[in-house]
Structure 1
Amino acid sequence: MKPQKQTKIEHLFKRNYRVYCLLSYSYVAQWDIAEDIVQDVFVRLLSKQDNVILLNINAYVWRAIKNNSLKFISRNRKNETLDENCLSIPLPEEPLIEESNRALILQESINNLPPGCKSVFELCALDGHKYYSAADHLGISVNTVKTQMKKAYKIIRHDLKNYYLIVLFFLEN
């Protein structure tokens, strides 16, 4: 009679094998490698000692497959040779958005920040003040400055996300 742990793992393997392979394939883009990674994870899981108890075995397997796929990619990236074509990015003949338009987009994003967030951002990012100096100048705590800066960067990143997606789209074509 098989131990309960082994039958549970076998059932999980048989039921979700294809899904796990698809997860690994989404990283490594080679089906045979993805299958090997999934099988390696399950072999290691079965060879673990019985005194190790996993509360959520499915989450453990999912994370292990993801991590092993990423390790495979990083190991193979070291072995790849650089092609001359990958070193140059073809740029369009004319600039997509002029430098002044980029500055306008950034300035508009900064102007749309909430008032407190904007003043902290201008002091720290634009004027070059240290956080403690900005906190002293505005009469707030350093942690408030950090929070406001984090909020400002998040808002600006969101506003500029569409701009960079447009630039990347045109660079690829």
Structure 2
Amino acid sequence: MIGTLKTEPARTRPDLLAAPTTAALASWGDDDWGDDVLVAPIDPDLADTAAFCEAYEVALDASANCVVVAGKREGAVRYAACVILATTRADVNGVVRRMLDVRKASFAPMAEAVELTGMEYGGITPVGLPEGWPILVDARVIATPYVIIGSGVRHSKIALPGAALATLPGAQVVDGLAKVVDTVSRESNG
């Protein structure tokens, strides 16, 4: 149990996961981390980070956000997901922009992020993102023993070892991807 969450193995509860998340977990072999991913139902009205952490007694530095970022290059839109702790803010127009190799990067519009990921706004997770997307994971997340993040839907959260996120297809661990902030990161479409 993490905070007051009542967790169980995620593979046994596809009803608490978005379809792309379920598919991604099914593709993880037993040796990969699949058995280490837990899921817990939550009140969907408490899915946003600050409310969630307070209601379920989860430390902010154990809670992560997955934000979808977009930028254009030669007329084509490039997408990436950034996974950062709730105590940080992604360096979108510095590190992320350079990694996407675009002139300007910004958070993807809500409708676009939802449509492209097949996940609910406020629940987007790096587990099950579209093939080919870079998943930029702040090094602080990898160092977290267990991190709580969206499940693809607003009515649950998943918990998994931070190090597991480095093994996702397209994942890149990035030192300095995010900067520490004084307040909870509200920059979340996931």
> Which of the five TM-score ranges fits, normalised by the shorter chain?
under 0.3
* TM-score normalized by the length of structure 1: 0.20
Instruction: Compare relative contact order (CA 8 Å, sep 6+) and give the higher one, 1 or 2.
Output: 2
TM-score, with length taken from structure 2: 0.19
More strand by share: 2
**Greater Rg, structure 1 or structure 2?**
1
